[in-house]
Amino acid sequence: MPELKRILLAEDSPQDVEMTLEAMGDYHLANEVVVVGDGVQTLDYLYRRNQFANRPLGNPIVVLLDLKMPKMDGLEVLKQMKADPDLKRIPVVMMTASREEEDLIKSYNLGVNAYVVKPVDFQQFVDSVRKLSCFWALVNEPPPNVSARH
Amino acid sequence: MSKFLMLFRTRLLVLIFLVVLPALALVLHGYLGQLRLEKTRVREGAIAMSRLAAARQEYYVKDTHQLLATLTELSFFVLSKDRSFCQTGFSNLLKLSSDYVNFGLIESNGTVFCTGLGGDAAMDLSDRAYFRRVLEKKRFSLGDFQVGRITHEPTLNFGYPVRNEHGDIARIIFASLKTSLLTEAITNIGLPPGASVGVLDRSGIIVTRVPDTAKWMGKDVSAEPVVQNIISGKAVVFERIAQDGVKRLYAVTTISDGESPGLFVNVGIPVAVSYANANRTLRRNLLLVAAIAAVIWVLLWFLARRFFLKPIDLLAAASKRLALGDLAVRIGNAEGAGELAELGRTFDEMAEQLEKRAAEINRLNADLEKRVEERTSQLAAANQELEAFCYSVSHDLRSPLRHIGGYTSMLQRHLGNTLDEKGRRLLNTVSDSTRRMGILIDDLLAFSRMGRAEMQEGIVDMNALLEEVVGGQQEAQGRHIEWKKSHLPKVKGDSALLRQVLVNLISNAVKYTRPRDPAIIEVGYRNGEERDVTFFVRDNGVGFDPAYAHKLFGVFQRLHDAEKFEGTGIGLANVRRIIQRHHGQTWAESVPGEGATFYFSLPKASD
């Protein structure tokens, strides 16, 4: 079965999810987006645990991570991912509602690959999401051993 | 302290002077008494001396009188017709008596019969005073001083009548006495220094005088009133300034040749002599008083040091230590009833109070410090809360806003062509308001961040900042703006924050001069204050109503409507916040329609 270019979107706000999918829809990327609602689910997906135990093999080509989520926030998820040799090569884009300097510094210290402030203006938001998904899903070459262990 | 000492010394001197004053009065009184006594003494001395001198003169007068009387008894000699016999006799007599210069007989008509010196027969001596007086008085007479016509020597002549057997005056016998004898007689009578003795004859001629005999002898002083008074017997004791300028006390004694005064002996003693003794006593007494005063002064001085200045020194030293902060200092052993002891006790009480107060202040300070610490931690907690609030504002407020905007757009998209004009307008308004609120939230967050961010203080080159800011003004491109930029001084502060101040003020100036052509924007400073420098940005724009000047620097305060001049009203609030953090001040002036000036002060960069 051919390797799907899956995008993992970790976002607790259904509205943000809908808006993000709407923006991605134009590039026909929406079908390849997996949505999780909090940090715990994100890690469950990555480690194929609980409800994601039977998901298809392979790591997502990029993780779009909302910073503020219930149970476990984006920074914690990022920290665990970058500490794991199997997950640390997965590109992580931190998505956040505001440009808080402290968050920015913490994220980069933990090894984030990109940091995006969600624009209030919808058109700008759409532009950002499109550029982002386009870059990571279509332009960027993912690490070769993303699914090496499977 | 030294000033006080001087004052004290002066007072001591005045006191001593007051004590000594009666003594001085006594000394003066004694001096005047002694002076009176001395004057009397001099007066009596002068009289005694003039009598002594007169007695010696009188001796010669009486001697001559006796000699001439004796010779007259020898009628064979004085009535002799033998001229050579007569001459030999007188000549021998002259050899026996060196006191005389000449002897002789004069006929009653005035012609000389014979003299001891001879060779002068028939000379007329009828004009001689002694001759005329003898004829007139018919007895022994004293002549005037004269330089002898025969002897050519200064002499004093005496005459005596020679009577014949009928008792008539046949001839007159005369004797010429050397005046040098008279001079000798008065020379050694023990005159005090400066004194003088003079002998006058009755016609006012000086017979002799000591000292300066040669100068005065034979001088006619009869014209002087004092001489007239002496001769007439009016002046016996008198004071007079003599021709040598010395004031003398004169005493006159007269010598008579029987009935009437013939010679006047005067002794003059300088009045100064009488003062000399008194002055000597006065000097001695004054010295004594001064010595006593000095002894009193020294005694008082030592006593004052012991009982007065020493305690004061103690007090002064204690005060100095107190002033330097040693609150534990005390005079101690200030017992006794004196004022200084009282002062010492008061000082101790004061120090005691001070020490108590200082302790109280220390306690209050510690208390205050503790409270400040408490407040500071409270403030820090509040600050943390504020930060959490801002964080949640940025996240939780922005998210729904974004959703409103997003869903509005999605709705617009979804409806597409089915949306009529009104529907499109309504949805556009929702979008615009959403966007606007987003900007407001962003501004608010930036403002809050500005207040919390760490200050990176350094020396800031305001000129470089200004150039950079002016260059970055997008709107200024393509507009006619006249820039007037002064050379600005360096200041102390955070370069990034101050850059923001300039950005806000300059962009405001550019914005509000939009209707002007040319726009004039001036950036300068005033260097009046000591530690601060005041900058200003002046424009010729639309200005503002000064009545609202106080609102200008508030958050989201706008004095112009958003349609003409865009903006949220956060810029000046940011300026004020930044300048406040630099411990400076902000204010503004304007004449509506003519322009506005915005001021801000900053600490100078120390050289």
Q: How confident is the model at residue A148 (pLDDT cuts 50, 70, 90)?
A: very low
Please judge whether B435 and A97 are an interchain contact, meaning their C-beta atoms are less than 8 angstroms apart.
no
| Structure-model confidence comparison of residues B429 and B123, the more confident one | B429
Instruction: In whole angstroms, give the CA distance from residue B292 to residue B295.
Output: 5
pLDDT bracket for residue A2 (50, 70, 90)? very low
User: 3-class DSSP state for residue A84?
Assistant: coil
Find the mean pLDDT for residues B561-581.
83
C-beta separation of B501 from B579 below 8 A: yes
Of B406, B442, B445, the CB nearest to A19: B406
**C-alpha–C-alpha distance, residues B539 and B519, integer Å:** 7
DSSP code of residue A140: S
DSSP B220: B
**How many CB pairs below 8 A link A and B?**
60
Residue type for position B123: M
Q: What is the DSSP letter of B122?
A: T
User: Minimal Cα–Cα distance from B420 to chain A, Å?
Assistant: 21
Please choose, from the candidates B31, B28, B24, B29, the residue with its C-alpha nearest in 3D space to the C-alpha of residue B290.
B24
Beta pairing partners, A62: A7
The whole-number pLDDT of residue B148 equals: 65
pLDDT, tens only, B60-101: 888 888 888 888 887 777 777 877 787 787 788 888 877 788
Angle (CA) A31-B395-A59 rounded to 5° is 30
By residue count, chain B amounts to 607
Q: Which residues 377-406 of B are in CB contact (within 8 Å) with A?
A: 391, 394-396, 398-399, 401-403, 405-406
Where helices occur in B74-178 by DSSP H, the ranges are 75-78, 83-96, 129-137
Q: Give the nearest chain B residue to A120 (CA atoms).
A: B402
A70, burial (CB in 10 Å: exposed 0-12, middle 13-18, buried 19+): exposed
Per-residue DSSP letter, B70: H
Q: Do A121 and B410 touch (CB under 8 A)?
A: no
> d(Cα B192, Cα B268) in Å, to the nearest integer?
10
- Distances from the Cα of A130 to the Cαs of A18, A25, A30, in angstroms? 14, 9, 11
Length of chain A: 150
User: From the list B391, B395, B402, which residue is nearest A125 (CB)?
Assistant: B402
Asked if A16 reaches chain B (Cβ–Cβ under 8 Å), the answer is yes
Tokens found for residue B84 = 């050579």
Across B230-368, the runs of DSSP E, i.e. the strands, are: 237-241, 247-256, 261-270
Looking at residue A135, what DSSP letter applies? I
Q: Cα–Cα distance between B568 and B574 in angstroms, integer?
A: 12
Q: Which of B403, B462, B409 is nearest to B438 (CA)?
A: B403
State the complex-level ipTM. 0.78
d(CA A93, CA A137): 12
* Pair type for strands A33-36 and A7-10: parallel
Name every residue whose Cβ is closer than 8 Å to that of residue B548 and which is 6 or more positions away in sequence: B559
A15–B407 CB contact, under 8 Å: yes
Sheet strands (E) in B202-260: 206-210, 237-241, 247-256
B402 closest CB neighbour out of A22, A100, A120: A120
Of B187-191, B473-477, B490-494, B570-574, the poorest mean pLDDT is in: B187-191
For chain A, the C-alpha Rg in angstroms (whole number) is 14
Name the nearest CA neighbour of B518 among B537, B539, B545: B539
Tell me the shortest Cα–Cα distance from A67 to chain B, in angstroms.
10
What is residue B534's three-state secondary structure? strand
Q: From chain A, pick out residues whose CB is under 8 angstroms from the CB of B403.
A: 13, 15-16, 19
CB B268 within 8 A of CB B186: no
Residue at token pair 């270019």: A5
pLDDT digits (tens, 9 = 90+) for A27-61: 666 568 899 988 999 999 999 888 888 888 888 88
For residues A106-121, average pLDDT = 88
pLDDT tens-digit map of B288-343: 888 888 888 888 878 877 777 777 778 888 888 888 888 888 877 656 667 777 88
Q: Does B438 touch chain A (CB under 8 A)?
A: yes
* Residue pLDDT, tens place only, B339-376: 777 888 888 888 888 889 989 999 999 999 999 999 98
- Contact between chains at A98 and B398 (C-beta distance less than 8 A): yes
Q: Nearest-CA residue of chain B relative to A126?
A: B406
How close A22 comes to chain B (CA, Å)?
A: 8
Q: Where are the alpha helices (DSSP H) in B305-338?
A: 310-323
Contacts of A122 in chain B (CB under 8 A): 402, 405-406, 408-410, 431
For residue B285, the one-letter residue type is N
Q: Which of A16, A120, A126 sits opposite B438 (nearest CB)?
A: A120
> What band does A149 get if pLDDT is binned at 50, 70 and 90?
very low
CB contact under 8 A, B402 and A119: yes
Q: Residue B394: its chain A contacts at CB < 8 A?
A: 97-98, 100
Is B414's Cβ below 8 Å from some Cβ in A?
no
Q: Which residues of B touch A118 (CB under 8 A)?
A: 398, 402
Q: Where are the alpha helices (DSSP H) in B416-461?
A: 421-452
Residue B555: pLDDT above 80?
Answer: no
Whether A120 and B395 lie within 8 Å, measured CB to CB: no
DSSP state of A98: S
Between helices A39-47 and A74-83, what is the axis angle to 10°?
30
pLDDT (0 to 100) of residue A131: 86
Determine whether the interchain pair B409/A123 forms a contact, defined as Cβ–Cβ distance below 8 Å: yes
pLDDT of residue A1: 36
Of A98, A118, A121, the CB nearest to B435: A121
Q: Is B122 left (phi over 0), alpha (psi -120 to 50) or beta?
A: left
**What average pLDDT does range B1-7 have in this prediction?**
58
A68–chain B Cβ distance below 8 A for any pair: yes
Q: Which two tokens stand for residue B504?
A: 């806000």
User: CA B238 to CA B227: how far, in whole Å?
Assistant: 12
